[in-house]
Structure 1
Amino acid sequence: MRVRAAIFDLYETLITEFSDGKRIFRRQQDDPDRLGLSQDEFKREWRARQERRMNGSFPTFHAVIRDILEQRSLSYPHEHVEQLYRARVEEKGLPFQSIRSDILEMLDLLKKRGIKLGLISNCTEEEVIHFGRSPLASCFDEVIFSYEVGMAKPQKEIYLMACERLGVTPEESIFVGDGGSDELRGARDAGLQPYHAYWFNTYIESGFRKLHAPLEVQNILDHH
């Protein structure tokens, strides 16, 4: 069946937070200490709320921090939480400043071929504030952020929502992602053809076909 739509993951597929195996920016290491938590305690609490952060149960960064502190019977330092929020927005904005040229070229070539482009990202509000100001924003016909729609990959419904918005069937669609959040299996279960983006994140293994460079997406279309 002819491919009519290509749906992409965002982080570690179109942009990356890493350079030479390390995050390109880190917040001050004493930030959690100023909340009354150690680094390890804060990480545990943050990760324990991963699913609820992605599906919008916590609508904002501030809501997550408030819940963590309330569960620990700690006070809520408004000024410091706001500083943490601004630092996180800055950190999450950095990957949008250096988008690889071959990724933009790949998206442009797909559009010129008449392929509809969609984006599905498991994310929170502060992680994608800079998306709308980036060159990526104008590339896509539909963008779905998990926190806005109340569901996240690998839930089948989020892929079906993307296809419906694009006006295509799952069978006419490919999904390209680095494999985080079990997203490739989710795409397959929803009826899409999944492909493993293997140009940034090479730590996740899967049984799906690997693409070692963005422009290899073109090869998929040539064989359909």
Structure 2
Amino acid sequence: MNVRAVVFDLFNTLTAPVDEVDFRASVRDMGLAAGVNPDAFTRGWFALWRQQLDGTLGTTEAGVRRVCEAMRAEVARARIERAVEVRMEFSRRALRPRGDAVATLRDVRRIGVRTALLSNCTADVPNLWPTSAYAELIDEPLFSCVEGLVKPDPDLYQRACERLGLGPAACIYVGDGDDQELTGADRAGMRAVLIKTPEATAASSLSERGSWSGEAIDSLSEIPGLIRTGSAA
């Protein structure tokens, strides 16, 4: 079947590599901004990570408040707001496109193929999305915290297909392999392709970066050729 859509992962796929040290330091800085013990705040933040990804906690502010409440810390609203802004500052940095991302998205759309996004992310990302470099180039963005589903849940891939108005066999999924997203895409009936990111930092325990035996590409700029020829290197 001809490729009619490309579904992209976001972090470490469309974005430049996210620095794990910077990521964890930013969470600690949130604790400092809130005026609480930064190490305890960091532990609390990651203890609630799944609930942030699936949207259970709602806004970033609600997440900060929940962590502080669990620490039994009374925190002024101004400090909560500052902690939220620290998170937003990190996410703005994390959303920087990798070098060939914007050009590739334009090329894919130019040849008449639709685009979608599936991202496991917290509430700050959809808030920043409208001003990102990708917003006008992705036809159907789906965020886990908005959809209430987290990759590799098959219903999330199915929902992307429904939004695109296509069957999964007409879609290529491209990701760096975190969260078993490639296996999830393959099981959903999509054609899954790994984007190699040797410069990416520590992968999650669910990463497929080192074990994926399916199709793989070295750069996003290979995707238009992949669409035309129907195969990857």
1:176-207 alpha-carbon deviations (Å, 9 max, x no partner): 11111221111112111111111353753231
Counterpart of 2:100 in 1: which secondary structure? Answer: helix
Cα distance between partner residues in 2 of 1:24 and 1:31: 11
The aligned runs of 1:90-109 (5 Å cut-off) are 90-96=89-95, 98-109=96-107
Partner residue in 2 for 1:222 = 228
* Counterpart Cα distance in 2 of 1:100 and 1:147: 23
The aligned residue for residue 155 of structure 1 is 153
Aligned length: 221
Equivalent residue of 1:194, what SS?
A: strand
Tell me how far apart the structure 1 counterparts of residues 111 and 225 of structure 2 sit (CA, whole Å): 13
Cα distance change on mapping 1:18 and 1:30 into 2, 3 Å: closer
Q: Is this contact kept in 1: 2:29–2:86, CA < 8 A?
A: no
Equivalents in 1 of 2:70, 2:14: separation in Å? 36
> Cα 1:6–1:30, aligned 2, differ >3 Å: closer, same or farther?
closer
Unaligned stretches of 5+ residues in structure 1: none
The CA deviation at 1:72 is 2.8
| 1:144 is the counterpart of 2:142 | yes
Residue aligning to 1:183: 181
Alignment partner of 1:139: what SS?
A: coil
Corresponding position of 2:22: 23
Q: Within 2, Cα distance between the matches of 1:49 and 1:124?
A: 11
Asked if 1:14 corresponds to 2:14, the answer is yes
Provide the TM-score with structure 1 as the length reference. 0.88
User: Kindly tell me: are residues 137 and 130 of structure 1, through their superposed partners in 2, closer, same or farther at Cα, counting changes over 3 Å?
Assistant: same
Structure 1 residues 27 and 187: CA distance shift in structure 2, 3 A: same
Structure 1 stretches of 4+ with a deviation exceeding 4 A read 28-31
* RMSD over equivalenced CA pairs, Å: 2.4
Q: Is 1:205 equivalent to 2:210 in the alignment? A: yes
Whether contact under 8 Å (1:7, 1:173) holds in the other structure is yes
Write the distance in 2 (CA, Å) between the matches of 1:141 and 1:29. 35
Q: TM-score, normalised by structure 2?
A: 0.84
Match of 1:135 among 120, 133, 140: 133
Q: Which runs of 5+ in 2 are unaligned?
A: 204-208
CA contact (8 A) 1:119 1:140 kept: yes
Which aligned pairs between 1:14-163 and structure 2 lie closer than 5 A?
Answer: 14-16=14-16, 18=18, 23=22, 26-27=25-26, 31-33=30-32, 35-39=35-39, 41-96=40-95, 98-163=96-161
Per-residue Cα deviation, 1:32-72 (whole angstroms, up to 9, x for no partner): 25543342x32222122111101110101122222222223
CA distance in 1 between counterparts of 2:219 and 2:76 reads 45
